[in-house]
Amino acid sequence: MAGGQERILRRRIKSVQATKKITRAMELIAASRIVKAQARVIAAQPYADGITEVVRNLQSAGGAANSAMLAPREEVRKVATIAVTADRGLCGGYNTNVLRAAEAEMRHVEGAGQENVLATVGRKAESYFRFRDVPMEVSAAGFSDNPSYEDAREVSKHAIAGYEAGDIDRVQIVYTRFISAGRQEVVTVQLLPLDVPKDAEPATPGEPTADYEFEPSPEELLERLLPRYAESRVYAALLNAAASEHAARQRAMKAATDNAEDLILTYTRRMNRARQDAITTEIMEIVGGAEALSQGDGAHEDAHEAELYEMTS
């Protein structure tokens, strides 16, 4: 029985060791990708700042008077929610946190008497809402860990078209913002109507500000730039989500590797105990057999002596 238990534990140890190798490899891969993803987030920031500055200047020049993407709707009837998750699991509570936040936003929209329009990014969000029979207007997947600007353009294209056509009155995106390798947070950001930051105060009182001449008109320039501005915000959200996914997967695989090591140690101790029990049992059986043999030889000698005594008496 003890020997059988030892064999079972040995097989379990080998299985956990194989799993540990996989989780350790995934941890190292995720750790290396965090650096690249964070670099992409930082590299995309100058473009976002630049286009924001241009849109701000056009807005100050009076180009936002007739822009549909900047003016909020008087009555909000339909709200589109874009939920950004990962294509794969094994990243802790990353996907669950986004899905919970998206569902909370949708419940809030329904509570306000408005209609929900759902769009998903990532296979996890798609399968989650499909399993719950929640209709999805748009579903995009296959690029969660390495998004491109074209992916952001495809994601934002339907939202922009629906908003400009009047079918959607507000668009919001739910994603995980990357703060550092050890900290990420799920946020909900309004995408449309666009909220362009106002002009900042000059660094020095009385400092002159630049005056621009626009060709063509500010209205026409703003009409062309606002879709790019919306795409840049979606792209920034996808990059943050990708970096957060890698960070979450690195932490999850680190915890899995540590748990595997603890499990191997526990199984090893149990296997050694089972081996010691088996050895002790074998020793006890040998000692018991030897004792039985010695007792049997002693009884045989007593009987032989009794027989000789009868013959001589």
CB of 271 closer than 8 Å to CB of 10: yes
H or E element, residue 185: strand 183-192
Q: Which residue, among 128, 86, 236, has the nearest Cα to 173 in the 3D structure?
A: 236
- CA dist 15 and 271 (Å) reads 14
Pairing of β 170-180 and β 183-192: antiparallel
CB of 184 closer than 8 Å to CB of 244: yes
DSSP 180: E
Q: Length of the chain, please?
A: 313
- CA dist 271 and 96 (Å) reads 38
- Which amino acids are annotated catalytic? 91
- Burial code (b: 16+ CB inside 10 Å, e: under 16) for 191-222 equals bbbbebeeeeeeeeeeeeeeeeeeeeebbebb
